[in-house]
Amino acid sequence: MAKQDKDATFVGDSRISAKRIPNISPSYSEYPGKNEPFWPNFLLKEWMVAAVGLVAFLVLTVSHPSPLTDKANPNDTSFIPFPDWYFIFLYQLLKYPWASGDWVVIGIIGIPAIAFGGLMLAPWLDAGKERRPSRRPIATGIMLLSLVGIFYLTWAGYTEHHKSTPGHSGDSAKAPAAAPSDQKADSGFKPDKLWTAQANCMQCHGKNMEGIAGPNLQKIGSQLDAAQIEDIIKNGKPPAMPGGMFKGSDEDIKKLAEYMASLK
């Protein structure tokens, strides 16, 4: 058997680069303003912006403390509760008949659950790949409708509350304006026994009609006549004064109204 020579042949693999490149970010000088490495360039800029925003927020909180209202007073029946701005639209929603009263569950659970549930399921409800709003009419329409609804309800809730607040210039149905300090300081005023017999009325207007939670009534006759006063005593004056507070007959109401109309 003849002896055969065997030669060893080495074949290089082109998939393995012979030049070792260190693991560093490439140079982006060829693309100015178009790209940059995430670390440290981009991330450092983000941190700087966040630090400036945080410092500005801290300065704002120190220089302008949160506006806190007076302490809760259970005797103040003229106080109208009002939520923070981000809940005003839900607060206004509960004022409508189809979301309050017997249907209040719809207002506090049903409608918010549908709205936020739809927001969570949005990726599955609209799986289109288009990014232009004009080519996604359903998703765009729902979003615009939601934004318009939230903005309108917020505006309506704020406007109604502002008008119903005692002392607002545009509230034509508000109770008589609170008397100036000189009227409240009139300690020599002594009301008739028709008034002192009404404990419910004195809780808000004071024993001498000087005004506590309600307005001063010592000169109410210069603002309202007997018929108007009688109507307010019977039916109240929303939102601050409820009706049915007077304890007595219609004849007693009429006598008290005539007496109050004489206070000028």
More confident residue, 83 or 240: 83
Torsion of the alpha carbons at 193, 196, 200 and 204, rounded to the nearest 10: 130
Domain layout of the chain by residue ranges: 36-65, 85-164, 181-261
Question: Phi and psi dihedrals of 110, rounded to 5?
Answer: -60, -60
Residue 99 has pLDDT above 50, yes or no: yes
Share of the chain above pLDDT 90, in %: 13
Does residue 239 have a cis bond before it (omega within 30 degrees)?
yes
Asked if residue 221 lies in contact with residue 263, where contact means CB atoms within 8 angstroms, the answer is yes
Q: Domain 85-164: give its CATH code.
A: 1.10.287
Asked if residue 248 lies in contact with residue 212, where contact means CB atoms within 8 angstroms, the answer is no
Asked if residue 83 lies in contact with residue 158, where contact means CB atoms within 8 angstroms, the answer is no
Residue 188 has pLDDT above 80, yes or no: no
Residue 33 has pLDDT above 50, yes or no: yes
**CATH architecture designation of domain 181-261:** Orthogonal Bundle (1.10)
Question: Residue range 203-227: average pLDDT?
Answer: 80
Contacts of 1 (CB under 8 A, 6+ apart): none
The DSSP code for 237 is B
Residue 18 has pLDDT above 70, yes or no: no
Whole-number pLDDT of residue 75: 72
Residue 258 has pLDDT above 90, yes or no: no
Dump pLDDT digits (tens) for 168-187.
444 444 444 444 444 444 44
Strand (E) positions, the chain?
none
Whole-number pLDDT of residue 54: 96
Residue 208 has pLDDT above 70, yes or no: yes
More confident residue, 180 or 43: 43
The DSSP code for 220 is G
Share of the chain above pLDDT 70, in %: 74
Contacts of 143 (CB under 8 A, 6+ apart): none
Whole-number pLDDT of residue 21: 65
Contacts of 67 (CB under 8 A, 6+ apart): none
Whole-number pLDDT of residue 5: 59
Indicate the range of 17-21, 55-59, 258-262 predicted with least confidence. Answer: 17-21
What is the band of 237 on the pLDDT scale with cuts at 50, 70, 90?
confident
The pTM score is 0.43
Whole-number pLDDT of residue 147: 92
CA nearest to 213, candidates 80, 75, 82:
75
Question: 143: which 2 tokens?
Answer: 């979003």
- To the nearest whole number, what is the mean pLDDT of the chain? 77
